[in-house]
Amino acid sequence: MSTNHSTDYENFLDRQDETAWARALEEIAPAIHEVERNATRVWFAFFPLALARALQTSDDPEGLARKLLMQGNYRLEDQIDSSHKFLYGHRHWRAVKDATTERADSFANGATTLADEIRAVARRAAEGARVDESLLVGIAAVALMTVAQVGLAKFRASPGEVKVGGRFARQSPAQVLRERARDDSQGLMGFLRTTDKRWTVVWNENDESARFQMIDSQEIASAAPNDERDWSQIDPRCTVGEGPIPVQCRSASCGTCWVGVLGGAEKLSPVAERERKVMHLMGYIETDEPRPLIRLSCQAQGRGAVSVVVPPWNGVFGKFLRAQASGGDGGQAAESAATAGEGA
Ligand code: FES
């Protein structure tokens, strides 16, 4: 390992701000395989750089997290090998991790860009894993962002475990895409059904049991209790009897129930004004898209089968980050986060 090269690599990543990352993601987007496109965007929404840096540079990170009403596991350093287990490329995480550290150890400061570095890691990892490069571009971007947020030492120290096993580990990208696109058969007389249609919500594509039924036009979170198991042991934000998606208000106020949509976003109801306003307030997503990839599951109604992923945390940080970005008083914005959340 070369310390100078590694330090240069960390410094290079440190210099990349939110705008540089947004530009790089836009540049690499056409090179990302279809199976990874949504998942990559969802991951970057789940682990925003500006929030990670605000916590890192705070004199009192735990106090700031409390002020931003953060619940659950928001620390990327605690989930270096698992935060991206919903990406197809996670199957090749070890190769991506090795390619990233190799790149860091031979990094030459020069005319390189973030997009170039992501592609270089994806190319090297694809050679190691003997898969198409397009499958690893998204997770290569995730790897570099992880280094940017946790540092190379912690990144190197993680064991590089792959969390997908059994038949899921062997699935081809085409199979995953086919499963995402499949809608539930409504039976022989299905064409006569109207509101009693039933759709499957998959909330972990790599677990056969991680799915529940939703009736037509039902909100995803309202259907989640159909999975009757006790998820509070796995995610303490979950309440017994409420299913695998944490919920609190059920009225687009608290932001607890946000989910990422891997497949079927077009089958969900369009975002209503209140849902859009609350997602902006929370800091989850800024978009005018009628059916974005981040939704409040207590508002999004299903009109077909969908595949979603539940982030491991929730919080109210939009106002705080906007105040920081404009050079204002992020602290004051944090103080008012709770009030703003209640008044959404
Ligand atoms: S449960 Fe509060 S916003 Fe959905």
pLDDT tens-digit series, residues 88-115: 999 999 999 999 999 999 998 777 999 9
Q: Is the CB of 255 under 6 A from ligand 1?
A: yes
pLDDT tens-digit series, residues 250-277: 999 999 999 999 999 999 999 999 999 9
Q: Is the CB of 247 under 6 A from ligand 1?
A: yes
Per the listing, tokens 């914005």 go with: 333
| Ligand 1 atom with the shortest distance to the CA of 254 | 2
Per-residue model confidence (pLDDT) at position 340:
53
- Short-list 339, 340, 317, CA closest to 58: 317
Does position 341 have pLDDT exceeding 90, yes or no? no
How much distance in Å is there from the Cα of 129 to the middle of ligand 1?
A: 41
**What token pair was written down for 258?**
């946000």
Per-residue model confidence (pLDDT) at position 4:
83
How much distance in Å is there from the Cα of 278 to the middle of ligand 1?
A: 9
Q: Is the CB of 298 under 6 A from ligand 1?
A: yes
Q: Is the CB of 245 under 6 A from ligand 1?
A: no
**CA–CA distances in Å: residue 234 to residues 222, 231, 240:** 20, 5, 11
Q: Is the CB of 253 under 6 A from ligand 1?
A: yes
Query: What pLDDT band is residue 191 in, cutting at 50, 70 and 90?
Result: low
Q: Are 69 and 110 in contact (CB under 8 A)?
A: no
Q: Is the CB of 249 under 6 A from ligand 1?
A: yes
Per-residue model confidence (pLDDT) at position 266:
97
Q: Which amino acid is at 114?
A: L
| Ligand 1 atom with the shortest distance to the CA of 258 | 4
Q: Is the CB of 69 under 6 A from ligand 1?
A: no
| Ligand 1 atom with the shortest distance to the CA of 247 | 1
Per the listing, tokens 């491991």 go with: 312
Strands 258-263 and 211-215: unpaired
Residue 171, by phi and psi: left (phi above 0), alpha (psi -120 to 50) or beta? beta
Q: Is the CB of 239 under 6 A from ligand 1?
A: no
- Short-list 305, 314, 308, 312, CA closest to 294: 308
> What pTM value is reported for the model?
0.93
* Percent of the chain's residues with pLDDT above 70: 92
| Ligand 1 atom with the shortest distance to the CA of 297 | 4
| Ligand 1 atom with the shortest distance to the CA of 246 | 1
Per-residue model confidence (pLDDT) at position 342:
47
| Complete domains list, the chain, with CATH | 3-47+83-159 (no CATH), 173-311 (3.10.20.30)
Does position 245 have pLDDT exceeding 80, yes or no? yes
Does position 45 have pLDDT exceeding 70, yes or no? yes
136-145, 150-159, 179-188, 325-334, range with the lowest pLDDT = 325-334
CA distance 213 to 211: 7
